[in-house]
Structures are given as structure tokens and as C-alpha cells.
């Protein structure tokens, strides 16, 4: 089905893999792939596409085997709908991104590399995908992985597609590995500053407590949340051990039920922008969490902008918020990125006002693996049709001329 959006760009909504393949094979010009559209502002700004291909009609359950704990779905299936279906069998896809409530789709989450706090225990989505179907820009249909966990033959497309932001092709179908839903869950909260939170997170990583998630946010001066889940006895048994591990680093409170979920929702909000804010994400070694926070504070002071920080200190993942005039924000982001790069990390922009793009590069300098990335891109999308501009200078392939 072809529609036209408010900018007069053709919007295509294929209802099958074959229809999507015919569509891409029979057209030319720049393409943009879209699920629920929850992360359209992440990374670089793509050039205006000739066509937007939406996956909303590729949203069915293709196969579900509860005994093998696998499910195959169309890439346009919203995660929240999938979780509701799996709940009936006491299973779930062990993924809890903050964009789930906004309708984020399975394919979109894979393409953007989005994940949530439980990544600490279960891994990212790339670790939960065992097979994908990808439609290339020339209409070729490629399959990677399989329908069983042991199948690893051929290209490891799930890992190649993770975080590719739609630059390699249209993710059409995904096969996923599932987990049993935990019997019980409880969250410890500790009011601490970021340096103490980082120290606790490192001790947790070296312990046998196996938390499901560890998040810190600049909430009420600083709050560390640590989620434990499993059997009721196992969760209860880890409470005393956690208090001992924390020691004098802060008073420990325990949350369950609605109170527990309220804590995580509040911390999740720290990873979302308010109006006119800029969000940037950094990845570093977990041991550099406090250094990341200090660097952000110094960049904010030098540039005169307001900032905030939310971290997953056991993973070394950090979300910084910037608020101020675009030139000042650009200066602060550039200064913070310089410090993070010196730590061996990286910084990418996510949501931000368009004016900020004129002040600072959204993706920053290319990684050391950029040569491999460009080689792979030339092979899968030789005409550069898929989301040109989304990865900025990392993929310098010129966009083809737009045609109708």
C-alpha cells in the first residue's frame, strides 16, 4: 500500500516479505525504514527519502514454540504486544527498553540497538536474536541464523544489524530466544552520589549476587537502584548479602510491586529528553563512570548549560542531558565527547533540536572498525539507498539522486 505523508514523501506499507522485496526491487532513490518512529532522531539526520517503508503490516506471530522457548515475528510487531502474548505461557523476551510503552517494534529495537536496564543480566537484543530475514535495497531477501538456538551458519546478520539504524536493509522478520518470567523481583534503592554508585556497581559485578539491573540517576541528589529477580527464596536470600556489600555507602531501602516499578519508571525518564533538550549517550569501561560524570560537570560549567546524567554503571553506559542555547549545547557536547574519547569511549547524539546539528557532529569520529563497516555496506547496499546520512561521515557513500 502506498500513501503520501505531509512532506509528500511516498509511504509504503508492505504486507509480506515478498511484497517488500518487489517494492524495493521496483523502485530507486533514498529509502528510510520506520517501525513505530520512536527513535527517528537518533544519530545523524538522513537525507530526505524518496520513500518511507513502514513495517506496521509486518507484525504477526509467524511461529511460537513454548517448549523450545523461541518465537518468530514480523519485525513490525510492537514489543508490548509480544510480551502480552508470551505472558500467557509464563515467558517473555528479556528486554525492557524505555521506548516499549511508546510502541517500539522488535525490528526497530534491533536496528537501533535499544535496550533497557535488564541488559546487565540477559544481554542486549543482539544476544536474544537467533535469526533474521533482511530485504536488501535491490529486493534480495537474505536470511541469517535460523529457528533454533544452535544454528549459527552463514553471516551473523543479527549482530551485523544491531545498531545499524536501517543502513543495511529492511529488517522484515526476527526469530527470538525467550526466557521464563521470574517468579519474584525486588529492588534495592540506595541514595548515593555517582562516585559511590560506581563503586557499589563494581563490587556487585565482582560478587555472586547476579543483579538483573543496576541503574543510577540524578534523582533527589542521586539514587542507585539494583534489581534482583528469580525465585522468591533466592531474591529474599540476596537482601542481607546486598546490605553487607553496600556497607557504609548508603541506607538501603527495598521496593516491591508498584513501588518497585515506580522507581524504574522514574529512572527510565532520566533517559528521555524534555522539550528542547539534547540527549547524548556514551559508552565507556564501567570503571570510568565517575570520570564521565566529572567530565560532564566541567563541560557544563565551561559552556553555561544545564546538564543531567543517568548511568548504568555496571555496563559503562551513560545518558547525558543538555539544556541551553544550541551553540552552548554544541560546545558542551564537544567538550564532553573529547574527554570521553580520551577514556577510550564514544559519544553519540540521540534526540535533540535540529539547530544542535549545526553545532556538533551527531556521530563523532568514526570507530576503528569503520573500514569493515564501509566494506559491508558497499556489499549489502552498493547504491547507498538505505538511510543515507544516518551514520554521518562513517558511511560517506553519496546518496543517489531522488527519483519519483
Which one, of 278, 273, 269, 270, lies nearest residue 334 by Cα? 278
Which one, of 57, 17, 49, 44, lies nearest residue 33 by Cα? 49
Helix ranges (H only) for 114-193 are: 119-122, 157-161
User: What residues contact 394, with CB distance under 8 A and at least 6 apart?
Assistant: 363, 366, 367, 370, 373, 374
* Predicted local distance difference test score (pLDDT) of residue 154: 54
* Predicted local distance difference test score (pLDDT) of residue 8: 76
* Predicted local distance difference test score (pLDDT) of residue 150: 41
Q: Do 220 and 152 touch, CB atoms closer than 8 A?
A: no
Residues (pLDDT < 70) of the chain are 1-7, 146-155, 397-404
Inter-CA distances, 56 with 75, 107, 241, 283, 351, Å: 8, 10, 46, 31, 23
Which residue shows C-alpha cell 570507530?
367
* Predicted local distance difference test score (pLDDT) of residue 200: 95
* Predicted local distance difference test score (pLDDT) of residue 147: 59
Which one, of 353, 373, 398, lies nearest residue 165 by Cα? 373
Which one, of 63, 68, 59, 61, lies nearest residue 107 by Cα? 59
* Predicted local distance difference test score (pLDDT) of residue 247: 85
* Predicted local distance difference test score (pLDDT) of residue 7: 60
* Predicted local distance difference test score (pLDDT) of residue 220: 86
Q: How far apart are CA 33 and CA 174, in angstroms?
A: 16
- For the chain, what is the mean pLDDT? 92
Q: How far apart are CA 145 and CA 151, in angstroms?
A: 6
Q: What are phi and psi of 53, to 5 degrees?
A: -110, 115
* Predicted local distance difference test score (pLDDT) of residue 399: 45
Amino acid at each position: 500500500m502506498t500513501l503520501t505523508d505531509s512532506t509528500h514523501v511516498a509511504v509504503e506499507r508492505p504486507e509480506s516479505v515478498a511484497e517488500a522485496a518487489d517494492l524495493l526491487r521496483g523502485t530507486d532513490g533514498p529509502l528510510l525504514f520506520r517501525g513505530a518512529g520512536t527513535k527517528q532522531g537518533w544519530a545523524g539526520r538522513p537525507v530526505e527519502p524518496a520513500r518511507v517503508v513502514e513495517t506496521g503490516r509486518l507484525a504477526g506471530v509467524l511461529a511460537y514454540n513454548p517448549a523450545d522457548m523461541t518465537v518468530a515475528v514480523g519485525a513490525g510487531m510492537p514489543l508490548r504486544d509480544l510480551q502480552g502474548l508470551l505472558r500467557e505461557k509464563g515467558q517473555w523476551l528479556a528486554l525492557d527498553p524505555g521506548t516499549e510503552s511508546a510502541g517500539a517494534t522488535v525490528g526497530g529495537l534491533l536496528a537501533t540497538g535499544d535496550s533497557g536496564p535488564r541488559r546487565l543480566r540477559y544481554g542486549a537484543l543482539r544476544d536474544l536474536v537467533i535469526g533474521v530475514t533482511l530485504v536488501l535495497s535491490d529486493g534480495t531477501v537474505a536470511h541469517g541464523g535460523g529457528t533454533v538456538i544452535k544454528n549459527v551458519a552463514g553471516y551473523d546478520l543479527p549482530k551485523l544489524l544491531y545498531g545499524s539504524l536501517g543502513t543495511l536493509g529492511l529488517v522484515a522478520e526476527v526469530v527470538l530466544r525467550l526466557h521464563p518470567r521470574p517468579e519474584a523481583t525486588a529492588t534495592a534503592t540506595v541514595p548515593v552520589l555517582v562516585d559511590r554508585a560506581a563503586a557499589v556497581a563494581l563490587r556487585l559485578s565482582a560478587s555472586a549476587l547476579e543483579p538483573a539491573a543496576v541503574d543510577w540517576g540524578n534523582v533527589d541528589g542521586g539514587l542507585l537502584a539494583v534489581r534482583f529477580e528469580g525465585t522468591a527464596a533466592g531474591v529474599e536470600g540476596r537482601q542481607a548479602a546486598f546490605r553487607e556489600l553496600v556497607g557504609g555507602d548508603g541506607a538501603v531501602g527495598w521496593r516491591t510491586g508498584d513501588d518497585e516499578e515506580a522507581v524504574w519508571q522514574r529512572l527510565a525518564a532520566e533517559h528521555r529528553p524534555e522539550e528542547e533538550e539534547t540527549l547524548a549517550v556514551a559508552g565507556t569501561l564501567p570503571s570510568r563512570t565517575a570520570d564521565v560524570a566529572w567530565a560532564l560537570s566541567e563541560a557544563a560549567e565551561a559552556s553555561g548549560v544545564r546538564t543531567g546524567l543517568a548511568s548504568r554503571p555496571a555496563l559503562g553506559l551513560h545518558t547525558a542531558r543538555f539544556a541551553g542555547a544550541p551553540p552552548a549545547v554544541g560546545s558542551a557536547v564537544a567538550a564532553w565527547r573529547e574527554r570521553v574519547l580520551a577514556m577510550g569511549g564514544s559519544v553519540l547524539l540521540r534526540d535533540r533540536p535540529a539547530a544542535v546539528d549545526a553545532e556538533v557532529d551527531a556521530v563523532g569520529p568514526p570507530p576503528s572498525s569503520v573500514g569493515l563497516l564501509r566494506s559491508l555496506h558497499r556489499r549489502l547496499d552498493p547504491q547507498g539507498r538505505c538511510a543515507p546520512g544516518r551514520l554521518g561521515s562513517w558511511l560517506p557513500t553519496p546518496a543517489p539522486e531522488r527519483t519519483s
